[in-house]
């Protein structure tokens, strides 16, 4: 198809898949159970950080985290005293990693004003890489095992940082379609990128959107440059098109 036809096709698919029915199988359903901003962003952060594997297993593990927190995420984090949860495992993320996340989140909320502030303060606008690197440094000021750092990816080392970028999409993009939350106003939707993994990367390559073969930060930049030419203000909406084509249509 021509470049114009491809643009129109991706606009159609993005609009089709960004729909409340998307919540039925996706881990984003878990933070949608809450109303308070802090509850939503804490659940969204933890769930997005364990979002690898199939979606059913991610939701199941997310349910376990909610149970550990007594379904009161913000209250639990603010009163957390370093107790290590027991019997939690999701892939290579274990109970000690979860305890480290709880400690680091407590630090973020007590010392940095919360997750939004930790991503946005003293960072130049329109630099998502710097936002993530600054957040990561602040987050890991909390007590944790060194092994836990591998669960929060680092774009400075070239990582595509798929899960962090997905979390930011959830927090920043408009809630008008009933999927993302639009809670954070200090970061613009124009800054967002595509949560790039093997599946979205393969779909993008089949469509001729990418020339690079790696799924790394430089490939993030290549892909988002194209999508910003489609929609400068909301380029991350095309995540729904790539994901939907791969997950639902076997493209």
pTM above 0.85, yes or no: yes
Per-residue model confidence (pLDDT) at position 250: 78
Report the candidate in 34, 190, 37 with the shortest Cα–Cα distance to residue 114: 37
Low-confidence ranges of the chain (pLDDT < 70): 123-126
The confidence score (pLDDT) of residue 126 equals: 67
The ranges assigned to domains in the chain are 3-247
Q: How far apart are CA 246 and CA 239, in angstroms?
A: 11
pLDDT tens by residue, 97-128? 999 999 999 999 999 999 999 998 776 666 89
d(CA 20, CA 109): 30
Residue 193 CB-half CA count within 13 A: 28
């Amino acid at each position: 198809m021509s470049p114009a036809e491809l643009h129109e096709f991706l606009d159609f698919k993005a609009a089709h898949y960004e729909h409340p029915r998307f919540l039925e199988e996706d881990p984003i359903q878990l933070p949608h159970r809450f109303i308070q901003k802090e509850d939503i962003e804490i659940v969204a952060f933890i769930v997005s950080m364990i979002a690898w594997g199939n979606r059913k297993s991610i939701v199941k593990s997310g349910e376990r985290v909610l149970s550990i927190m007594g379904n009161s995420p913000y209250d639990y984090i603010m009163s957390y005293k370093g107790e290590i949860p027991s019997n939690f495992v999701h892939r290579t993320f274990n109970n000690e990693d979860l305890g480290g996340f709880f400690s680091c989140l407590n630090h973020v909320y007590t010392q940095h004003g919360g997750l939004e502030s930790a991503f946005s303060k003293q960072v130049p606008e329109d630099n998502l890489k710097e936002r993530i690197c600054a957040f990561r440094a602040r987050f890991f000021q909390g007590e944790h095992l060194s092994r836990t750092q591998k669960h929060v990816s680092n774009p400075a080392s070239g990582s595509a940082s798929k899960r962090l970028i997905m979390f930011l999409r959830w927090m920043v993009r408009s809630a008008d379609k009933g999927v993302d939350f639009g809670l954070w106003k200090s970061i613009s939707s124009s800054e967002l990128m595509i949560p790039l993994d093997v599946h979205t990367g393969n779909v993008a390559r089949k469509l001729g959107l990418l020339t690079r073969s790696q799924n790394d930060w430089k490939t993030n930049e290549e892909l988002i440059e194209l999508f910003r030419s489609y929609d400068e203000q909301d380029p991350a909406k095309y995540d729904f098109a790539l994901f939907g084509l791969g997950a639902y249509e076997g493209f």
